[in-house]
Amino acid sequence: MFMIGPKFAVLEMVASRLLAEHGGLGVVREVRRYEDGSYRYGIAPLDPENIEVGGIYGESQLAATGQKVTLDHFWSGAIRIRDVVRIADTHPKSKLRGRYAEVIDEVTPDGRYTVLFRSIRKNRVRTRCRDVSARHLEPTGDRMPPEPVPRPSITVTHDGDHLNLRPWHEYDILDEIDQYL
C-alpha cells in the first residue's frame, strides 16, 4: 500500500460512524505513522463532556468534514501547557513554595493543573508530578519549547510521584496539538 502522507491534520474536525452515539464528530489532536506506513489519529471529543469519543482511529474509520476548530477548543485558560510557573508562597505545602515547574496538563474544570518538577540528584534527573490549584501558580512568562516532531513515541508510566518515560518504537508522532498550544 503506497501512501503519500497523512489524510488529516491536527485541529481538523472529522466524522465517523464509530462516533455516532456521541454526535459523530471528533477533532484530530495527534497524527501517527506506524511501522507499516499506515497513519492513525488521536481523536479528541468535539464536546469535552463526551470523553468516550477519544481514542486512536485509522484513516478508513474517519471522514473529512472540511472544518477546523481553534486552539481554544483544547485549552482556554490563562495558564497554558508548557508554561513555566512558580509555586506561590501561599501553597499549603511549604516544601513546594517557591519551586519552579512546567505545566503539563489541565486536570479539572475547577482550575487544577498538573505540573512537572525536575531536579538533579546524584547525577540523575528526577521528575515529580503534582496537581496544583491555579490560585497557587504564578506564571513566569517563560515557556518550555514543544518536543520536536516527528519523533518516536514513548510510553509513560507513573511510579508513585515519579514519571517514567521509555521508548516505544511502534509508531512515530508526526504532529500533535501540543506543538500549537
In tens, the pLDDT along 103-143 reads 987 766 677 888 989 887 777 777 788 889 989 999 999 99
Q: 165 falls in which pLDDT band (50, 70, 90)?
A: low
The whole-angstrom separation of Cα 76 and Cα 98 is 26
pLDDT, residue 161, reads 62
Q: 148 falls in which pLDDT band (50, 70, 90)?
A: confident
Report if residue 97 sits inside a domain.
yes
Report if residue 160 sits inside a domain.
no
How far does the chain reach from its first CA to its final CA, in angstroms?
Answer: 34
The pTM (predicted TM-score) of the whole model is 0.69
In tens, the pLDDT along 49-95 reads 666 667 889 999 999 999 999 887 777 677 888 899 999 999 999 99
> Of all residues in the chain, what percent carry a pLDDT higher than 70?
81
Residues 50 and 103 in one domain: no
CATH number, residue 89: 2.30.30
Q: Which three cell numbers stand for residue 141?
A: 512568562
Residues 69 and 87 in one domain: no
Dihedral angle of Cα 168, 171, 172, 176, to the nearest 10 degrees: -100
Report if residue 35 sits inside a domain.
yes
The whole-angstrom separation of Cα 8 and Cα 61 is 12
Please state the domain count of the chain: 2
Q: Which three cell numbers stand for residue 34?
A: 506506524
Under 8 Å between Cβ of 86 and 138: yes
Q: Which domain holds residue 101?
A: 83-143
Best-predicted range by mean pLDDT (2-16, 20-34, 83-97): 83-97
Nearest to 25 by CA among 9, 38, 40, 14: 14
Is it the case that residue 3 has pLDDT exceeding 60? no
Under 8 Å between Cβ of 2 and 171: no
Residues 88 and 67 in one domain: no
Report if residue 17 sits inside a domain.
yes
Q: What phi and psi, each to the nearest 5 degrees, are found at residue 61?
A: -95, -5
